[in-house]
Amino acid sequence: MYGKGIWDGLKVTLRHFVQSYIDDLRWGKKRYYTEEGVAHRRSTDTAGIFTVQYPEEKLPVPEEFRFLPFLVYEELEDGTQQDLCTSCGICAKVCPPQCIWIVQVNDPETGRPVPEPEEFFIDMDICMNCGFCAEFCPFDAIKMDHDYEMSVYKRHDKNIFNKAKLSKSLTYYASIRPKNFAVEDAIRKEKAAKKAARQRGS
């Protein structure tokens, strides 16, 4: 019968329409502006309205989410900040848009390179968030951030980040990527223990 296809299609639209109300009624106020509600709306058994009301509601980002790199520092017991970066330059070499600049320092007395960067710049305008720097850093010193709300009014003045602006603490890193941090921390501790054992032995 002519028109049956259209009618069948409209039934689907109608079902979607009704379903959004059924789901709203079933969940009540919990469906919007709560973590539980957001989690439900992005699960595979969701029905009805999908929309997340950004910025009032935000989707939680998964642990592996990557957006712009930052440098990790360790807080020592005396309160100073120890960069994990040794300015080896691998991140600058692997960076596809070449947006990382590192100044390596030499010891004034011996003339040999000191394993920490004097300055570290990343041009956030041309960073393509690929995550290679974090992936290939042998010292776990550069990591990808979760903070994606970065808009500024003047990109030319503000978007080349220097070391001070890039540095974030190890505690912050542990808070955004707990699983990765646990793995890396275990390896780091093991290495430190081995080193200590070697020093005792010698």
Count Cβ neighbours within 10 Å for each residue of 63-88 and write b for 16 or more, e otherwise.
eebbebbbbbbeeeeeeeeebbbbbb
> Measured from the CB atom, is 75 or 97 closer to other proteins?
97
Q: Which of 13, 110, 199, 202 binds other proteins (CB under 8 A)?
A: 13
Alpha-carbon distance values, 175 to 13, 61, 139, 168 (Å): 43, 13, 19, 11
> Measured from the CB atom, is 103 or 196 closer to other proteins?
103
Determine contact, residues 29/90, Cβ cutoff 8 Å.
Answer: no
* Cβ 68 to other proteins shortest distance, Å: 12
> Measured from the CB atom, is 128 or 197 closer to other proteins?
128
Place of tokens 């054992």: 197
Interaction residues for other proteins, span 58-117 (CB under 8 A): 61-66, 87, 89-90, 92-96, 98, 100-104, 113
Binding mask 117-136 for other proteins (x = CB under 8 A): --xxx-x----xxxxx--xx
> Measured from the CB atom, is 75 or 125 closer to other proteins?
125
* Cβ 87 to other proteins shortest distance, Å: 7
> Measured from the CB atom, is 125 or 190 closer to other proteins?
125
Question: Nearest to residue 87, comparing CAs of 109, 105, 108?
Answer: 105
The rounded distance, in Å, linking the Cα atoms of 169 and 138 is 18
Question: Nearest to residue 90, comparing CAs of 137, 134, 135, 131?
Answer: 137
Residues 162, 136, 105, CA angle at the centre, nearest 5°?
A: 45
| Residue 178 within binding range of other proteins, rule CB under 8 A | no
* Cβ 28 to other proteins shortest distance, Å: 23
* Cβ 78 to other proteins shortest distance, Å: 29
The rounded distance, in Å, linking the Cα atoms of 88 and 102 is 9
| Residue 160 within binding range of other proteins, rule CB under 8 A | yes
Which stretch of DSSP H or E encloses residue 52?
Answer: none
The rounded distance, in Å, linking the Cα atoms of 202 and 199 is 5
- Please report, as ranges, the residues that interact with other proteins according to CB under 8 A: 2-6, 8-9, 12-13, 16, 42, 44-45, 50, 61-66, 87, 89-90, 92-96, 98, 100-104, 113, 119-121, 123, 128-132, 135-136, 144, 160
